[in-house]
Amino acid sequence: QKEVEQNSGPLSVPEGAIASLNCTYSDRVSQSFFWYRQYSGKSPELIMSIYSNGDKEDGRFTAQLNKASQYVSLLIRDSQPSDSATYLCAVNRDNFNKFYFGSGTKLNVKP
């Protein structure tokens, strides 16, 4: 079983819709969770981090964490074509300072 699992997509949504990206992780001791956006040919850039159960909002982005279900998600409201990218979920286990990444979900926002 992979440490972090994501649906590879592609996930296609129309412009203005809500895009919902999901991620599950296998290790219950995982402490912190991150979402990165990666455009084709570029490096990953951090867009959200979340550490406790519940929702965290930043502009059009909302991260949701449910540690009991070992599930973290990213919602993108009012999706724009510029949001089209691959979204990587990353998990950090305390004491090891090692980050585990999902293989990413490719999002296509259609104008």
Residues that bind other proteins (CB under 8 A): 8, 31-32, 34, 42-46, 49, 51, 88, 90, 92-95, 97-99, 101-104
- For the bound state, the minimum distance from the C-beta of residue 49 to other proteins, rounded and expressed in Å, comes to 6
Residue closer to other proteins (CB basis): 44 or 79: 44
- For the bound state, the minimum distance from the C-beta of residue 97 to other proteins, rounded and expressed in Å, comes to 6
Q: Which of 74, 63, 90 is nearest to 11 (CA)?
A: 74
Q: Cα(75)–Cα(61) distance, rounded to whole angstroms?
A: 6
- For the bound state, the minimum distance from the C-beta of residue 28 to other proteins, rounded and expressed in Å, comes to 15
β strands within the chain, DSSP E = 4-6, 11-14, 19-25, 30-38, 45-50, 54-58, 61-66, 71-76, 85-93, 98-101, 105-110
Residue closer to other proteins (CB basis): 35 or 79: 35
- Amino acid identity of 51? Y
Residue closer to other proteins (CB basis): 61 or 101: 101
- For the bound state, the minimum distance from the C-beta of residue 16 to other proteins, rounded and expressed in Å, comes to 29
Residue closer to other proteins (CB basis): 30 or 79: 30
Is 82 strand, coil or helix? Answer: helix
